[in-house]
Amino acid sequence: MSIQENLEKLKSTLPPHVKLIAVSKTKPVEVILEAYHVGQKVFGENRVQELVPKYEVLPKDIEWHLIGHLQTNKVKYIAPFVSLIHSVDSLSLLKEINKEANKNNRSIDCLLQLHIAKEETKFGLSFEEAGTLLKSEELKELKNIRIVGLMGMATLTNDEILIRKEFHSLKEFFDKFLTLNSQFSILSMGMSSDYKIAVEEGSNIVRVGNSIFGER
């Protein structure tokens, strides 16, 4: 199947309120352009070193999302143009994003990444840590960032009950903070293997790579 057919098939299964991020990591610019020319304008990358050169050569109306772990010393490279950072997992990183956003005279939208999976290796905050961060006074002083929602990755498993449970726990936490934080609107959950479950559990942004571009 072509990228166009994959995108059409995928979109036909997504409710209209769910935004599709095409995860283009490891894919060359020609492949990204193929998706772009059939109407996909939002792309996600997980590494700054890969995102920046792609941003430089590709059309400027592309919306770029950073979905992978971000090191403080790399924030400056993406601060001028990034649309949404999905993977914020500390106050110190938020401070750095705020500083670089300020230098660029802009505000940067961020999601807090929560650790909801069983695996030890995945990045992210616990519910407790995220709660503390969201309520902290220091956060209020960061005028050039907005925390607009949450991101989470479920355990890589065939156990749909477990995946559903993990997504559900994040949605519950999201709803709790929705009432305290009027900027909250985005819940980024779901990849190729589990986006259908994620959408059923309340996701409104899915990050899909393999089902669009083929296996990496």
Assign residue 58 a region (left: φ > 0; alpha: ψ between -120 and 50; beta: otherwise): beta
Q: Which one of 7-15, 51-59, 142-150, 208-216 is the stretch in contact with ligand PLP (CB under 6 A)?
A: 208-216
Site residues for ligand PLP, 153-172, by CB under 6 A, read: none
- For position 191 contacting ligand PLP by CB under 6 A, the verdict is yes
CB of 85 to ligand PLP, least distance (A): 12
Measured from the CB atom, the residue of 142 and 204 that comes closer to ligand PLP is 204
Interface mask (CB under 6 A) for ligand PLP, residues 23-62, using x and -? x-x--------------------x----------------
Sign of the CA dihedral with 130 first, then 110, 47, and 63 last? positive
How far is the CA of 149 from the CAs of 15, 114, 181, 215, in angstroms?
19, 11, 9, 29
Contacting range for ligand PLP; rule: CB under 6 A; set: 51-59, 92-100, 140-148, 206-214 = 206-214
By beta-carbon proximity to ligand PLP, the closer residue of 21 and 75 is: 21
Half-sphere exposure of 88 (CA within 13 A, CB side): 27
C-beta of 98 vs 211, nearer to ligand PLP: 211
Q: Specify the stretch interacting with ligand PLP by CB under 6 A; choose among 50-58, 116-124, 131-139, 188-196.
A: 188-196
> Does the footprint of ligand PLP cover residue 199 (CB under 6 A)?
no
Residue of 106, 122, 126 lying closest to 114 (CA atoms): 126
Sign of the C-alpha dihedral computed for residues 33, 62, 71 and 178 taken in this order: negative
Residue with tokens 């305290």: 180
Q: Which of 27, 115, 171, 207 binds ligand PLP (CB under 6 A)?
A: 207
Q: Which of 166, 79, 81 is nearest to 127 (CA)?
A: 166
Task: With beta carbons less than 8 A apart as the criterion, state whether 187 and 2 touch.
Answer: no
Binding site for ligand PLP (CB under 6 A): 23, 25, 46, 67-68, 191-193, 207-211
